[in-house]
Amino acid sequence: QQQVKQSPQSLIVQKGGISIINCAYENTAFDYFPWYQQFPGKGPALLIAIRPDVSEKKEGRFTISFNKSAKQFSLHIMDSQPGDSATYFCAASMEGGKLIFGQGTELSVKP
């Protein structure tokens, strides 16, 4: 019940395309859903986050779509660029709790 399932494991997108990564959770007590971006040799860094009272959040080229009834959320990267090539992690947490991470998606954007 504490798991967050993420797919796909890897994704190859052409420059300018849309990258879509999906996550699903079980625990309805989760109330904070961040996405982290990790480059090789670096720590994860927060990209964008959403709370369950909002169905969509957009920051620049990055959008989170959140479906509370389906217990699913996704990250859309518009106009994907080679510099977006990294590993992306969805996560979930609750007040006073820990971050539960998805398995990660390795995104490669081809020029």
Partner 1 sequence: DTAVSQTPKYLVTQMGNDKSIKCEQNLGHDTMYWYKQDSKKFLKIMFSYNNKELIINETVPNRFSPKSPDKAHLNLHINSLELGDSAVYFCASSQLAGGTEAFFGQGTRLTVV
Binding site for partner 1 (CB under 8 A): 31-32, 34, 36, 38, 41-46, 49, 87, 89, 93-101, 103-104, 106
CB-wise, 84 or 88, nearer to partner 1? 88
107/35 Cα distance (integer angstroms): 14
108/31 Cα distance (integer angstroms): 30
Measured from the CB of residue 95, what is the shortest distance to partner 1 in angstroms?
5
CB-wise, 25 or 89, nearer to partner 1? 89
CB-wise, 65 or 106, nearer to partner 1? 106
Measured from the CB of residue 16, what is the shortest distance to partner 1 in angstroms?
27
CB-wise, 12 or 46, nearer to partner 1? 46
Structure tokens of 13? 């997108």
Measured from the CB of residue 45, what is the shortest distance to partner 1 in angstroms?
7
Residue 71, Cβ density class (10 Å: 0-12 exposed, 13-18 middle, ≥19 buried) = middle
Longest CA pairwise span in the chain (Å): 42
Q: How many residues does the chain have?
A: 111
